[in-house]
Structure 1
Amino acid sequence: MEQGWIRSRQSGITALYRLFDVLLILGILYASLTYFEVNPGKDWVIAGLLAAVGFAFIAESVELYRSWRGETYLRIFGTVTVAWVAVCIFLILLEFSFNTFATDYMRPAAVAWLTFTLFGLAFWRFCMRQILFSIRLRGRNTRSAVIIGCTESGYKLARDLASNPQLGIHVNGFYSVEGFHDHTSHLDDTSKFPVLGTVDEAVSKGRAGELDVVFIALPMRAEDIISETLDKFSDTTATVHILPNFFVAKMLHARWHQVGSSSLLSVFDTPIQGFDGWLKRLEDLVLASVILALISPIMLLVAVAVKCSSPGPVIFKQRRYGLDGRTIYVWKFRSMTVMDDGDKVVQAKDGDQRVTVLGNILRRTSLDELPQFFNVLQGTMSIVGPRPHAVAHNEEYRSLVNGYMLRHKVKPGITGLAQIKGFRGATDTLDKMSRRVEYDLEYIRRWSILLDLRIVFLTICRGFYHKNAY
């Protein structure tokens, strides 16, 4: 009875979320104006209404008001940030056009409003999430779930859901599919999650409104059975999920496309395109400009030191593979007596005689990489992304490491997920390169602006010195 009440009230809860967001945006605006003793005139009222309506529209487009059960708070915060920052950019553009809040005494109120609203939108969701977690741990606000297919992935999902009761998804048991029945290695699990019957019996319960969530845990080779099962559950109100098996989990960024009446599933794709691509480019331009302004004195000193310490050019350009495998030239401060860029490039190692005395310091502190911020402004690199390797190394490892070239579905970066995980410097073994590629592909799968900022923050906090950088 309680679960049915929750389902019937779901749209009402979503409406309350929207209403609370509007009230919070307008409430913080009024509080900011009151604190800074600014008269809330017509322009401010219009700005507040535009912000509220704009946020509602953008939040809807990024699916902020969908169910976040099972998602991390980090993703919620990232989605809220994207929606509100988009509203802020819109309001700032209006400000530049009409100079509505240009006077000095009004500007602090506007800054306070835009800043504290972001924290307010994120904080109240965090509080609500904790309240819901607490309620679910007491057995309320839960959803009943069943799993179709007694498979390895199905039992793993059941254990994961059982170990995370705050998600509020209770697995009642399994429904078997002929030919996909594996009890031998799950004797303990079958006592916790019994087999309740066949798929047809599960469908009957779904039609009676007794199932909230259905997980289909069958391998992709069971395409006909999956399709038939989906057809049957289309006559129910249950929420149906297909649990990816090993094949689907290896997809880089799955996305459906429509060509006429044909549906296509992209297997190896990039999440950084369209609006997200513009967003990441804006991030790169802002960060690179700020960083270059801060480090320009350091770069000038390094350039003079390189020129005075050894013969040769200050900047070394080397061919690398960029986005989609296109050749780019990456800029670095010269740190060696040679400038290899041919079919064979020997990686630097500890005590390498080709590295100059100054070059040894530059490489260990990553100061030799600073010119790559100009690559970022140029558009051939990004602040965060898979580190680019010499073309010769690419050709060597692409046949040895599975998925190696998928790194080039995004622009190469100055720092990346692999680097903050400790895989920086020489990749003198196949295992090191494989692990680096794993993190690079994980970055592409998980990409978000929030992840980029986290990587930048950890790169700064953990320092640029590394013992493995030769």
Structure 2
Amino acid sequence: MRIRNLDSSFVWLHRVLDIAVPFALLYLIAMTYGIFWHDRYIVMGLIGGLSLIFFNQATGVYTGWRGRSLFAGFKLILQAWGLTWMFLIVFAFMLKDGASFSRVTVTAWALITPIGLLAYRIVIRAILGRLRAQGWSTRRVAIVGAGQLGQRIAKTLNESKMLGYNPVAFYDDRSGLTGTKVEGIPVVGTIDHLLACRLLEEQYDEIHIALPMRAEARIKTILNALADSSITVKFIPDFFSFDLLHSRLSDIGGIPIISVYDSPLNSPGNALVKRLEDIILSTIILVLISPLLIFLALGVKLSSPGPVFYKQVRVGWNGKNFNMLKFRSMPVDAEKEGVQWGGSKSKTTSKFGAFIRKTSLDELPQFFNVLKGDMSIVGPRPERDVFVVEFRKKIPRYMQKHMVKAGITGWAQIHGWRGDTSLKRRIKFDLHYIDNWSLWLDLRIIALTFIKGFINKNAY
């Protein structure tokens, strides 16, 4: 069976099992605890399985699974199952039907199901690994170019046996490499030796061209020569030449496109996941901290005359302005001399205002901004519009932080880059977050924000 067809078959197998496994586990847990198996459990099991498939698709569980490590795959499964549970909680809340289910059974199901999903994937990987080790459905690959790119390809293929590719030879124009080994693979000759070889199809199943982009003429020569054979030829772009490691491949009407400055959040599916995350978590957090919000509002009102909240114009998603909410920590006329960036420690505050700034409690009303859609819980911190005009001229890629919604906390903030710290370093961390967004990364940042605490020497 061809690898592409095999890959499609296993994706459909995963989808079927991702419905069957949660449903079967829910039934077994209910029977174990002696719970009556009624129609609502059947509905919950089916909705849970179907939702899991949807969120698996949205988080990329079914995409590129062959070359993914087991740990990386499990992180994606946990993300999808977490989103499934958020959906089920909201669904049950809307129907007001929570009393129909055993809490022990449902809790056990929530904890055990990810283990079951991982377990069956381990079994499938073990079976496929055994078959691959015996040479079943593998493809012999010759790599043209033993440089940095070729070595990375060879290492990746050797470490990812699930791909079904077996790199068996290097060809390189540097004749001094002939007879040596690179990444444990023999360099059998120069590229001219490869092109002069007859019956390539009998020696290799595929040829991967891994030459730098500056070798355009050589690449064209190779492609023209290999056009006279029936062997599969693949060209791997050299992402190292132009710092394109953060870029993504896509297509428009079949035309291949390299997205140089892009974000996973530009995908409608990922954007929906992110918005659901913000709505669900901000609602839960606002409910939990509502007594604290009342206490802080009273503290602001009693410690200094003026409004409780302070609205400040900030620049957010796509460079659009919005009013960011804070608990007021300064007198109402604190900025009568104009707006200045930095120097937060020298700004006038009341004693209570100094406390809530130091502990970042003045930021809590921003969860209302999140619920409204102006902000996200996790994202780059927004700046004031007057500073954005200045910073965009001085800091490379500064405006790219506005490709996503601004956040209450972020990758830069949990690493200490906040307040009067280096903007260039902060932007570097913000861009890392934008380029590598995932639900798992968001949850990690939220957890680290609580673990490390809100108090920071740069928060004042």
What's the TM-score once normalised by structure 1's chain length?
A: 0.76
8 Å CA contact 1:255–1:269 kept in 2: the answer is no
Q: 1:154 to 1:98 in 2, by over 3 A?
A: same
| Secondary structure, counterpart of 1:316 in structure 2 | strand
8 Å CA contact 2:314–2:382 kept in 1: the answer is yes
Overall identity of the aligned pairs, in %: 31
1:163-217 Cα offsets, whole Å, 9 max, x none, are x68888775453236xxx6989xx9969976363317827978733635683624
**Structure 1 portions without partners, runs of 5+:** none
8 Å CA contact 2:250–2:258 kept in 1: the answer is yes
Q: Write the mapping of 1:47-446 to structure 2, written as runs, cut at 5 A.
A: 48=45, 52=49, 55=52, 59=56, 64-65=61-62, 67-73=64-70, 75-84=72-81, 104=100, 108-110=104-106, 112-125=108-121, 146-155=142-151, 172-176=168-172, 194=187, 196-198=189-191, 201=194, 207-208=201-202, 210-211=204-205, 214=208, 216-219=210-213, 222=216, 225=219, 229=223, 232=227, 235-237=230-232, 241-247=236-242, 249=244, 255-258=250-253, 264-272=257-265, 273-337=267-331, 339-340=334-335, 345-350=340-345, 352-427=346-421, 432-446=422-436
Note the aligned Cα RMSD (angstroms).
Answer: 4.6
Q: What is the CA–CA distance in structure 1 between the aligned matches of 2:435 and 2:127, rounded to whole Å?
A: 28
Q: 1:457 to 1:220 in 2, by over 3 A?
A: farther
Q: What is the CA–CA distance in structure 2 between the aligned matches of 1:294 and 1:53, rounded to whole Å?
A: 30
8 Å CA contact 1:387–1:413 kept in 2: the answer is yes
- The Cα shift of 1:459 comes to 0.8
- The Cα shift of 1:144 comes to 5.8
State the match for 1:447 in structure 2: 437
- The Cα shift of 1:346 comes to 2.8
- The Cα shift of 1:375 comes to 1.1
| Secondary structure, counterpart of 2:408 in structure 1 | strand
8 Å CA contact 2:419–2:459 kept in 1: the answer is yes
Q: 1:367 to 1:155 in 2, by over 3 A?
A: same
State the match for 2:448 in structure 1: 458
8 Å CA contact 2:312–2:324 kept in 1: the answer is yes
Q: 1:367 to 1:54 in 2, by over 3 A?
A: closer
8 Å CA contact 1:255–1:267 kept in 2: the answer is no
Q: 1:441 to 1:102 in 2, by over 3 A?
A: closer
Higher mean alpha-carbon deviation, 359-368 vs 335-344, is at 335-344
Q: What is the CA–CA distance in structure 2 between the aligned matches of 1:234 and 1:415, rounded to whole Å?
A: 56
**Structure 2 portions without partners, runs of 5+:** none
Q: What is the CA–CA distance in structure 1 between the aligned matches of 2:90 and 2:276, rounded to whole Å?
A: 15
1:19-69 Cα offsets, whole Å, 9 max, x none, are 654553343122122023234456655665665566557656766345535
Q: 1:469 to 1:18 in 2, by over 3 A?
A: closer
What's the TM-score once normalised by structure 2's chain length?
A: 0.77
8 Å CA contact 1:362–1:368 kept in 2: the answer is yes
Count of equivalent residues: 452
Give the AA of the match of 2:115: F
Q: What is the CA–CA distance in structure 2 between the aligned matches of 1:276 and 1:402, rounded to whole Å?
A: 26
Q: What is the CA–CA distance in structure 2 between the aligned matches of 1:267 and 1:127, rounded to whole Å?
A: 38
Give the AA of the match of 2:340: V
Q: What is the CA–CA distance in structure 1 between the aligned matches of 2:229 and 2:40, rounded to whole Å?
A: 50
State the match for 1:32 in structure 2: 29
Q: 1:188 to 1:45 in 2, by over 3 A?
A: closer
Q: 1:215 to 1:421 in 2, by over 3 A?
A: farther
